[in-house]
Structure 1
Amino acid sequence: MPFCIHMARVFVYGTLKKGQPNYYRMFESANGKAEFLASACTVQKYPLVIATKYNIPFLLNLPDQGRRVRGEIYKVDDKMLKFLDDFEGVPTMYQRTLVKLEVQEWAGQTHGEQRPAAGSITEAFMYSTTSYQPDWPSLPCHESYDSNGDHGLQYVLREGRD
């Protein structure tokens, strides 16, 4: 009987995206396997804010507030999913929930599946927080995160997470 590795889809919108400070973690073999599939945007609006002295991007679990958030969909194995859960502080800091996404551009391999067209809807896990300061919902909302963006709030690497 062949060995089968379960793969899940994960939507990243912050420091784990291409060109961002923690992107390299997606491809450290010790963390598991990840494959970029597509750029996408949440179907629902959410507040994506930058907060704390470390300028961390937080997606607040407040559906229908904020903006549609742009990010990337990755296919990850169970080892990477566990790493991401630990990295994101599930369940105390973040929760992992299934979210509907609008595909913007599909780049990944489909291995016999039909390649989703731009504009089609798919699902992936997303990390959002329900644990935040009372003033966070009033912070500026972003459609897309970039540590070097014009907001001037560059991500600060922390001990143990750099």
Structure 2
Amino acid sequence: MGNVRLCLSAAFAGTMARVFVYGTLKKGQPNYKHMINTAKGLAKFQGRGRTVEKYPLVIAGKYNIPYMLNIPGTGHHVAGEIYSVDDQMLQFLDEFEGCPDMYQRTLMRIEVVEWEGKGGTGEAWAAAEGVVECFVYSTTTYPPEWVGLPYHDSYDSSGKHGLSYVLRESRD
């Protein structure tokens, strides 16, 4: 068993990317199951954070999907979770998020609110004044009327907005 753990940590120590999720992929949300499905790759929860710049986070479309519109300086500091992911998970997330058509994966500065990452690299990530760079799936390809939707600072599928997310398997 020890060797299996060693192999897993050695594989995990390879090329890892930081990803900030703010919507349905967070813990307790409808698509979190993908983040913990090791068949799709490895994702390790590092902590909670929020965008350094303000962005509009809207819930849009007939399936009530959360979108962070890539309009820096408008909206709120969006809250979410920071993960370190391997290349396989990053590739899965690109496909899952419809990148680059529906969402675009860009680097953004994220303020660390609570850090759970232990050990060298985790602490190094959080060391720079509590700000880390993470990949974020935001969008520049949205209908202009979305800018007029209510802006949220955090997302919960069963929040008081009353716009429950519709799972892909339940869509018509």
Q: In 1, Cα distance between the equivalents of 2:16 and 2:55?
A: 26
Q: Which has the higher helix share?
A: 2
Aligned amino acid, residue 19 of structure 1: G
Instruction: Tell me what 2:132 maps to.
Output: 122
Instruction: Tell me what 2:148 maps to.
Output: 138
Q: In 2, Cα distance between the equivalents of 1:79 and 1:59?
A: 24
Task: Name structure 1 gaps, 5 residues minimum.
Answer: none
Question: Quick check: which has more Rg, 1 or 2?
Answer: 2
SS of residue paired to 1:75: strand
Aligned-residue RMSD, C-alpha = 2.0
Q: Deviations over 1:79-105 (max 9, x none)?
A: 000000000001111110110011000
Pairs within 5 Å for 1:1-162: 5-111=14-120, 114=123, 116=126, 120-159=130-169
Q: In 2, Cα distance between the equivalents of 1:148 and 1:39?
A: 20
Question: Would you identify which runs of 4 or more consecutive aligned residues in structure 1 move more than 6 Å?
Answer: none
Q: Deviations over 1:23-73 (max 9, x none)?
A: 010011110000000100000000000000100000001110111100000
Q: In 1, Cα distance between the equivalents of 2:153 and 2:123?
A: 29
Aligned amino acid, residue 103 of structure 1: V
Q: Which has the higher strand share?
A: 1
How many correspondences in the alignment?
160
Aligned amino acid, residue 125 of structure 1: F
Q: In 2, Cα distance between the equivalents of 1:123 and 1:113?
A: 12
TM-score in terms of structure 2 length: 0.87
Determine what percentage of the aligned residue pairs are the same residue.
Answer: 60
Aligned amino acid, residue 8 of structure 1: A
Aligned-residue offset at 1:109: 2.2
- Cα gap change, 1:141 to 1:113, in 2 (>3 Å): closer
